[in-house]
Amino acid sequence: MIVPRTSRAEILKKLRKKVDEKIPIFIASAGAGLVASLLEKAGADCINTFSGARLRSNGMGTMSMMWPILDSNKQTIDYTREDIMPAIKGDSFICACLNANDPLKDMRCVLQDLKNIGVFSASNIGPSISYVDKDSEIYRVLTKSGITFENEIELLKLTKEMDMVSIGLAFDEEDSLKMVAEAQPDVFCFHAGTTKGGLRGYDSGETIEETAARSEEVYAQLRKLKPDVMLIAHGAALENPVDAQYILDNTSCDGIWTGSSTERIPIERAVYKTAKEFADLRFPSK
C-alpha cells in the first residue's frame, strides 16, 4: 500500500477554488476505513479523524471520548494510519483532530508523526475543553489543572508553523473570536452543539432556524476580524441534507462539516433496516 501525499499549498488551493466558485466545502468525520472511502467517493473535500468518530463506530456517542477510556491522540494516529489512509485514493485530504491538552506528549512530535503518515491538516477538537460548560465546576477545575483553551490555540499556531492546514473549532462567540484572532486558522468551524438524531444523538430542542441564526451571529463577527477565513457550519439541529441546505441558504458560511450525519446515523438506519428484513424471513409453510 502506498498512501497518497499532499501538502498545505495543495489543500488550500483546492479549498480556495471551491470558495471562489461558490461551491460549499464539505468536511466529514470517519471512524472506519469503509466510511472514509465512501465519503471520498461521494465528494468530501476533507475527512477528519478523531477519537469521537472512532468511538461512534463502536456504537457510542461522540461525547464518550471525554471519558478517560483511551489515549485520544494515540487512538487518532493509529487508526488514521491503519484504517483511514490506506482506504482513500487522495481525492480527499485528512484532518486529524487532536487533544492539545495531552500532558504526556509534545504536540510538535504528534504533528510530525501525522506528517510522516501523510496527514497535512490538524484540528483542536479531539477533544476540546469547549465541550465543557464554562459556568460548571468541572470547567473551573480542569482549567486550574492546566487543561485550557489556550493550549488549543497554541496547537493551531504550531500546525501552521509546521506547514500544515489548521482547522479551528469553538463553541461560542467569545472563544470563536479569541481563536480566530490569536491562532489565525485557515479554516474555522463554529460548533453549534452535539448533533441530534439517531440512537446516540442529543436533541436540545433547538430548531434549524435557531442553529442558523446563532451561527450567523458568530460568522458576522469573524468576517470583520479575518475576512479571508473559510467558515464552516456544524452540529446541533444540522442533521440532514435539508438542514444543511437551510444553513447554506441562510448563513454566510463556506461549507458544512458533518459527523454523525454522514457516519453514525446512516449506518444505524441502513444496517438495522436490512438486518431486520433478514431477521423477519421465515421458512415456507408446509
CATH classification at residue 165: 3.20.20.70
Give a yes or no: residue 2 inside a domain.
no
- Mean pLDDT along residues 31-57: 89
Which phi-psi region, left, alpha or beta, contains residue 7 (left: φ > 0; alpha: ψ -120 to 50)?
Answer: beta
What are the respective helix, strand and coil percentages of the chain, to the nearest 5? 50, 15, 35
Give the range of the structural domain holding residue 89, as residue numbers without chain letter. 8-279
Q: Which three cell numbers stand for residue 220?
A: 458576522
DSSP 95-121: EEE--TT-TTS-HHHHHHHHHHTT--E
Give a yes or no: residue 187 inside a domain.
yes
Q: Which three cell numbers stand for residue 130?
A: 469547549
Place of cell 487518532: 76
Do the Cβ atoms of 199 and 155 come closer than 8 Å?
A: no
| CA-wise closest residue to 78 among 102, 101, 50 | 50
Q: What does the pLDDT read at residue 199?
A: 47
Stronger pLDDT, 206 or 85, i.e. the higher one: 85
Give a yes or no: residue 142 inside a domain.
yes
> What would the pLDDT profile of 114-144 be if each residue is shown by its tens digit?
999 999 999 999 888 988 889 999 999 999 9
Give a yes or no: residue 65 inside a domain.
yes
- pTM of the predicted protein model: 0.90
Q: How many CB atoms lie within 10 A of CB 91?
A: 13
Give a yes or no: residue 1 inside a domain.
no
Could you give the CA distance from residue 173 to residue 179 in angstroms, rounded to a whole number?
10
> What would the pLDDT profile of 74-99 be if each residue is shown by its tens digit?
999 999 999 999 999 999 999 999 99
Query: What confidence category does residue 64 fall into, taking pLDDT thresholds of 50, 70 and 90?
Result: low
Number of domains in the chain: 1
Give a yes or no: residue 286 inside a domain.
no
203 has pLDDT over 60: no
| CA-wise closest residue to 258 among 279, 280, 241 | 241
Q: Which three cell numbers stand for residue 239?
A: 442533521
Do the Cβ atoms of 16 and 64 come closer than 8 Å?
A: no
Give a yes or no: residue 246 inside a domain.
yes
Q: How many CB atoms lie within 10 A of CB 2?
A: 6
Give a yes or no: residue 265 inside a domain.
yes
